A = this chain, B = another copy of it.
């Protein structure tokens, strides 16, 4: 007997047939006494269809109204899924985000879950019903409908799981778990049975796309174990939790991530004087540009500095215009922009007590004849900036070094 939250994405409920497929699977896996909540997204392309409709009315939809509009997508899914369960003789009841007690901030289109009052969901479970909850949405204190932004349905699932003290929050996805690296790039990548919240968050931050960081953070803060598993297979996937329950092997490194949404800006010959870095990076922060790696090097010859930093490619236009305006204001420097770069990273909580991990990574890259343009580190990760064309070779070289047995 278990308390389970199961989350299915939009592609899993894209058609009435697929909805019935999910229902059949849930019922076949359900053990007597299991209490089950299902969180679903909007059907297939329906969110895009609603956005297209909105675009025909105005190119500047107020965010509150956009949430009012988009939240109908999940409302359709939950009604149909509840009906599908009932049609198979299994009592079920649907809840909008608001009805499920998902209270959020009033930041429309990217609201944050403040708390979950799951009493209606719990009552439904007490009555022997399967509860179907709309993902991606919530309600403000005023009763306005909000949406949670990208990956919001995962966050809903984890939040509901916390609210009903579920044993697991199962996230059904098109991959069958979290891998030591992206299997599309590294054929020898291996599915992990477990990974810690901290490691998963760091992997996500560094480019691994399996789970949205916000959902993982919510799980970490509320102690909800998250089971990432396949929509298509019945095998267990990967459980994200606070601590390992089994010491699998003594891996210090848990994963190798990569990120190609990276651009490098090199600012050359800025005066070597206090406040210069502050000036550059506060200007970027004011423009809402997230800066990732930062390297400052002193030129011995003329006493001026080179400052190199990376931003997301998607922020490059904004970042460049900030640098351009600083150039006019401060004068005397040049800058280069390079978009053919990528970042490869290793992540593992074990590296804290294991010297030589970073050196092992650099060695693997050197052996593969891959040049490192910049290095940055966190407590549980090391990242190297390399040429974009080297990504595949780099990730494989690093993976082979740290996971030699696969």
> Which A residues are within 8 Å of any B CB, using their own CB?
16, 19-20, 50, 53-54, 56-58, 60-62, 64-66, 68-69, 71-72, 75-76, 78-80, 82-84, 86-87, 93-94, 96, 98-99, 120, 142-145
A84 near B57 (CB under 8 angstroms)?
Answer: yes
B57 near A19 (CB under 8 angstroms)?
Answer: yes
Contacts of A19 in B (CB 8 A): 57
A68 near B94 (CB under 8 angstroms)?
Answer: yes
8 contacts between A and B (CB under 8 A): A20-B57, A54-B80, A61-B83, A62-B83, A62-B86, A65-B80, A68-B75, A69-B75
B65 near A69 (CB under 8 angstroms)?
Answer: no
> Of B16, B69, B86, B96, which one neighbours A56 at CB under 8 angstroms?
B16
List 10 extra interface pairs beyond A16-B56, A60-B87, A65-B80, CB under 8 A. Answer: A53-B76, A57-B83, A58-B84, A65-B79, A65-B83, A68-B94, A69-B75, A69-B76, A72-B72, A72-B75
Beta-carbon nearest neighbor of A67 in chain B: B79
The 10 closest A-B pairs by CB, nearest first: A58-B87, A72-B72, A69-B79, A16-B56, A68-B79, A65-B79, A16-B57, A65-B83, A61-B83, A57-B80
A83 near B58 (CB under 8 angstroms)?
Answer: yes
CA distance A19 to B60 in the complex (A): 16
Contacts of A69 in B (CB 8 A): 75-76, 79-80, 83
CA distance A19 to B143 in the complex (A): 26
A62 near B50 (CB under 8 angstroms)?
Answer: no
CA distance A86 to B58 in the complex (A): 9
Contacts of A143 in B (CB 8 A): 98-99, 120
CA distance A107 to B142 in the complex (A): 26
Contacts of A54 in B (CB 8 A): 79-80, 83
CA distance A59 to B16 in the complex (A): 12
Known contacts A87-B58, A99-B144, A120-B143; A66 and B79 CB within 8 A of each other: yes
Q: How far is the CB of A22 from chain B (nearest CB, A)?
A: 12
CA distance A104 to B47 in the complex (A): 30
A53 near B80 (CB under 8 angstroms)?
Answer: yes
Q: How far is the CB of A21 from chain B (nearest CB, A)?
A: 12
CA distance A60 to B82 in the complex (A): 12
Contacts of A75 in B (CB 8 A): 68-69, 71-72, 75
Contacts of A83 in B (CB 8 A): 54, 57-58, 61-62, 65-66, 69
CA distance A65 to B92 in the complex (A): 10
Contacts of A78 in B (CB 8 A): 68
CA distance A137 to B58 in the complex (A): 26
Q: How far is the CB of A46 from chain B (nearest CB, A)?
A: 10
Contacts of A79 in B (CB 8 A): 54, 61, 65-66, 68-69
Contacts of A58 in B (CB 8 A): 83-84, 86-87
Contacts of A62 in B (CB 8 A): 82-83, 86
CA distance A78 to B68 in the complex (A): 8
Q: How far is the CB of A49 from chain B (nearest CB, A)?
A: 10
CA distance A53 to B50 in the complex (A): 16
Interface centre among A50, A72, A142 (most CB of B within 10 A): A72
CA distance A205 to B374 in the complex (A): 81
Contacts of A94 in B (CB 8 A): 65, 68
CA distance A57 to B79 in the complex (A): 10
Contacts of A142 in B (CB 8 A): 120
Beta-carbon nearest neighbor of A16 in chain B: B56
Beta-carbon nearest neighbor of A75 in chain B: B72
Beta-carbon nearest neighbor of A20 in chain B: B57
CA distance A143 to B97 in the complex (A): 12
Contacts of A93 in B (CB 8 A): 64-65
CA distance A144 to B100 in the complex (A): 11
Q: How far is the CB of A328 from chain B (nearest CB, A)?
A: 35
